[in-house]
Structure 1
Amino acid sequence: MKRNSRLSLALHALSHMAFNTDQPHTSADIAAHAGTNPVVVRRVLGKLREAGLLTSERGHSGGWRLARAPRDITLADVYLALEESLVASPSETEQDMCSVEHALAIRVSTIMNDVEASLIERLSRTTIADVRHAAQ
C-alpha cells in the first residue's frame, strides 16, 4: 500500500488510537506520526467521523477518539468510509466504444467488481485490534 494514501493514513491513525483509547489524539500528533500535514489528517479523519468510526472534540483538550472498540472496527469499515476504490474501473463512455471494446469493458468491469468485493471481504476479516496486537 502506498505510504501516502488516505487508507494508509486512516489505518495508521486508528491503530495508534487503539493503543491509548483514554485520551484524545490531536491532528498535529497524528500528522507527526504519519509524516503528513494536520489538514490532511483532519480531512481523512472527518470521513471516518461521518461513518461513525471516530468522534472529535474541539478546543484545548480536544482531539480524535475511537467511537467503537478497536475489535469492532474492521479494515473494511475504514476502506468503505473513505469512499475510494483501490481497483480502477473503465472510464470510457459506451458511445465512444466499438463493439469489441464495449464487450471487453463489460468483461473487465465485471472482473474488477469481483476483485473489489473480494478485497472488501478480506479486509473485513481484520480489525484495528488485530493490527494493534501485531504491532506490540
Structure 2
Amino acid sequence: MKRDSRLSSVLHALMHMADQDRPMTSEALAQCMGTNPVVVRRTMGLLRECGIVTSSRGHDGGWRIAVDLSAVSLHQLHEALGEPAIFAIGNRSDTPECLVEQAVNAALDDAFAEAEALLLERFRKITLADLAMEFTERFDVLRNRGNRT
C-alpha cells in the first residue's frame, strides 16, 4: 500500500525555506526533496492558499514562509494538504453483509478513530518552530563532533 508522504515532504521543504534568508525556487526545493518542481508548485500552492507561504516571480522570485514558525502546527499543515488519510490500513469492505466482518469493522473503526484523534492532537502541539529547534540542535551536535579532533 502506498503511503502519503506529502506532510513529511512539506515539512522538509519548509525547514529548508526557514534556513534561507531569500526565496527558494521550486527547482531548488525539488532538488532538496528529490521530486519534480511541478509537485513542489502544486503542494506549495495549497500552503499559499492558507497564507503559510508566499511566492514571487522573476529573477529573485521563489517561495518564502509568510508566517512565524511558532504559529504553524503540523495539524494546520495536515489540513492544508486536504487532510490525507492518516493510516494506510483499513477495512476489507466498507459495507459488509457478513456479521463477522461487521464486528471486525466496528472494532477496527473504533481503534482507528481513537488512534487518529490522538495523533492529530499531537500534531496540534508540534509547530514549525519546534522542528527548526530540533534541526538546530542536531546540527550543533554534528558540528561539535567535527570540532573535537
- TM-score interval, smaller chain: 0.7 to 0.9
- Percent identical among aligned pairs is 44
SS at match of 2:100: helix
SS at match of 2:125: coil
Q: Which amino acid aligns with 1:11?
A: L
> For structure 1, which runs of at least 5 residues remain unmatched after alignment?
none
Q: Distance in 2 between matches of 1:9 and 1:29?
A: 14
Please report the TM-score for the alignment, with normalisation by the length of structure 2.
0.78
**Partner of residue 34, structure 1:** 33
Residue identity in the other structure for 1:53 = I
Assess if the C-alpha contact under 8 Å between 1:9 and 1:41 holds in 2: no
Q: Which fold has the larger relative contact order, with Cα–Cα distance below 8 Å and residues 6 or more apart in sequence?
A: 1
- Whether the aligned pair in 2 keeps the contact of 1:15 and 1:132 (CA below 8 Å) is yes
Q: Structure 1 segments of 4 or more deviating over 6 A?
A: none
| Pairwise CA distance, 1:28 | 0.7
1:131 aligned counterpart, secondary structure: helix
TM-score, normalized by length of structure 1? 0.84
Whole-angstrom CA distance in 2 between matches of 1:65 and 1:29: 12
- Aligned equivalents of 2:43 and 2:80: distance in 1? 10
Deviation at 1:3, TM superposition (A): 10
CA deviations 1:12-68 (Å, max 9, x no partner) are 011112223x42111111111112111111122122222222122233322111121
CA RMSD, 1 decimal: 2.2
Structural mapping, 1:1-136, within 5 Å: 5-20=5-20, 22-83=21-82, 84-88=84-88, 89-90=90-91, 92-94=93-95, 96-136=96-136
Give structure 2 stretches of 5+ with no counterpart.
Answer: 137-149
Distance 1:99 1:125, change over 3 A: same
CA radius of gyration, larger in: 2
Supply the AA of the counterpart residue of 1:34.
M
Q: 1:4 Cα deviation (Å)?
A: 8.2
Is the 1:27–1:41 Cα contact (8 Å) retained in structure 2?
Answer: yes
